[in-house]
Amino acid sequence: MTTRQEQDLRELLDSDSAEGLAERTGGHRGVTVADVDARARAIRRRRGRTAGSIAMAALAVVAVASLPRTEAAPMPEDVWTGVLAQPGSAPAPERSLPALPLYHRYERGGERETIRFRASATGVTFGLSCPADGHALVWLNGRFVASGPCGPTVAEPPGWLGDPAVAREGVNELTAALVPASSAGSGRMTEERAEQLLAATPAYPAAWRLTVLDTRTLDCRADVIRIDPGSGEIMPSCSSRR
């Protein structure tokens, strides 16, 4: 694709949407917070109705199951009976879970918090943003996979925690906790040490955030920088856009 053709495409997209928007907002207010609130209420109502329908269906199943049982008369042997197989269509419950990239905010240190997310079987890596006196501990599907300090070498969090871990296909469970860096020390963090540290740390208020990314989409993110976990050096981000 030539630069001129790319420029033509960019200009077309820009002018089409800008002209229309100008006309639209000339006699129209565009999208407002009030519009969004109204839509959010409608979504809540719809979800409520769906949940109600599911509850009613569950009640109906329970009611049918609790009816007195009757037995059919024995079938003559020369009468053929059969049921056509039907493909199953039960909705997968994990579809409602968030997928990668995942950003999760925490409000407390000294206690573990678990969230669930969907992923394909892929490498995941963790970005950390936390106060300078913190040290994060991360478990993925029950395995201790990452740990790392916040600051003082981390000038602009988030920084990366250790090597990538591997998520499994479908639902994954992420558990994370923050402990004071002073109690974490500078030695190698093992799962046993992490458990001991956490058990010895009372809960305390702390605002911190964990980002989970698919390693295949790691490069070139504007909101994430790379930091060498050993030296604390800020690594250069991608040099070219594509």
Partner 1 sequence: MRDRADFERYVEQRSARLLRTAYLLCRDWATAEDLVQTALARAWLAWRRVGANPDPYVYRILTNTHASWWRRRWRGEVATGELPDGAGPGDAEAGLGTREALRAALTALPAKQRAVIVLRYFEDLPDEEIAAIVGCSVTTVRSQASRALAKLRLDPEARAAMETGS
Among 176, 189, 218, 225, binds partner 1 (CB under 8 A): 218
CB atoms within 10 A of CB 189: 20
Q: Which CB, 42 or 203, lies closer to partner 1? A: 42
Indicate whether 129 belongs to the interface with partner 1 (CB under 8 A): yes
* Stretch of residues binding partner 1 (CB under 8 A), selected from 14-22, 69-77, 86-94, 144-152: 14-22
| Displacement of CA 202 from its chain's centroid (Å) | 27
CB of residue 163 to partner 1, shortest distance in Å: 19
Indicate whether 221 belongs to the interface with partner 1 (CB under 8 A): yes
Indicate whether 98 belongs to the interface with partner 1 (CB under 8 A): yes
CB atoms within 10 A of CB 181: 20
Indicate whether 214 belongs to the interface with partner 1 (CB under 8 A): yes
* Stretch of residues binding partner 1 (CB under 8 A), selected from 15-23, 138-146, 180-188, 227-235: 15-23
What mask of x and - would describe binding to partner 1 in positions 54 to 73, judged by CB under 8 A? --------------------
Residues within window 73-92 making contact with partner 1, judged by CB under 8 A: none
Residues that bind partner 1 (CB under 8 A): 1, 5-6, 8-10, 12-14, 16-18, 20-21, 24-25, 30-33, 35-40, 42-44, 98-105, 129, 209, 211, 213-214, 216-223, 238, 241-242
